[in-house]
Amino acid sequence: MSAENTEDKGLEYIRQGTGTADAKATGAALKRQAEELAKIGAEKKGGAAEKAKPAGDSPYVQVDRTLKRCQYSQDALIEVLHSAQETFGFLSDDTMKYVAHELKLPPSWVYGVATFYHFFNLKPQGEHTCTVCMGTACFVKRAGDIVEALEKEFDVKAGETTADGKLSINIARCLGNCGLAPMIILDGEVHARQTPESMLDQCKKLVKG
């Protein structure tokens, strides 16, 4: 297996949380395995990130500035990812590999952080974004019904963007303010104690412009 494949496989294992060859393994074991694979891949590759680094005019100029400002400290991972998302609108695999290389971290580590925080998007987002908290407190107060209503109205699955690129519907774990349940973040603004009807109303208005 080439180093590059090994590294990609590490990311893939974590993303899927399972693998046919290791169907009996637990999620934690798979994650450990993925991290090992990614680590080995990165070591073998040595210049893995040379490949991630594009030739000519780099689209990573802004990210490089942040890296320099933070003196390439691994502790600055979230800040660097933040900068990358501001630049590209989301975090692609290539971007995460680039950041991992520059900070000398396993790609699986960067991927783990990017997926842990609801703030980071791993897919291109629509013109408007609606993030519905599906943590326990929000779920018992009908967050699931809100997601279902939005999916039906806009003909899109949670985690996806409508065909016209107008609206992305995302799911988050607990957003940390359960007293406001069910809580939704619409274009960066917090909306507390929502109902399926109130969210449909607001999203329709947004999409219509």
207 binds ligand FES, rule: CB under 6 A: no
Look at the chain and count its residues.
Answer: 209
> Of the two residues 85 and 131, which places its CB atom closer to ligand FES in the complex?
131
199 binds ligand FES, rule: CB under 6 A: no
69's CB contacts (< 8 A; 6+ apart) are: none
User: Taking CA 69 as the corner, what is the angle to CA 66 and CA 73, rounded to the nearest 5 degrees?
Assistant: 90
> Of the two residues 92 and 177, which places its CB atom closer to ligand FES in the complex?
177
- The answer to whether the bond into 54 is cis (omega within 30° of 0) is no
Least distance to ligand FES from the beta carbon of 17, Å? 22
Residue with tokens 């009996």: 24
CA distances from residue 179 to 28, 173, 189 in whole angstroms, order as listed: 31, 15, 16
78, 178, 206, 207: which one binds ligand FES (CB under 6 A): 178
177, 195, 206, 207: which one binds ligand FES (CB under 6 A): 177
Question: Both tokens of residue 158?
Answer: 């949670």
> Of the two residues 163 and 190, which places its CB atom closer to ligand FES in the complex?
190
- The answer to whether the bond into 182 is cis (omega within 30° of 0) is yes
171 binds ligand FES, rule: CB under 6 A: no
65's CB contacts (< 8 A; 6+ apart) are: 83
40, 113, 122, 137: which one binds ligand FES (CB under 6 A): 137
> Of the two residues 100 and 175, which places its CB atom closer to ligand FES in the complex?
175
Residue nearest to ligand FES (CB): 135
Which range touches ligand FES (CB under 6 A), out of 24-32, 83-91, 133-141, 192-200? 133-141
196 binds ligand FES, rule: CB under 6 A: no
> Of the two residues 92 and 202, which places its CB atom closer to ligand FES in the complex?
202
Q: Outline where the chain has alpha helix (H).
A: 3-16, 27-45, 48-52, 61-69, 77-88, 93-102, 107-116, 136-140, 143-154, 196-208
Residues that bind ligand FES (CB under 6 A): 133, 135-138, 174-178, 181, 183
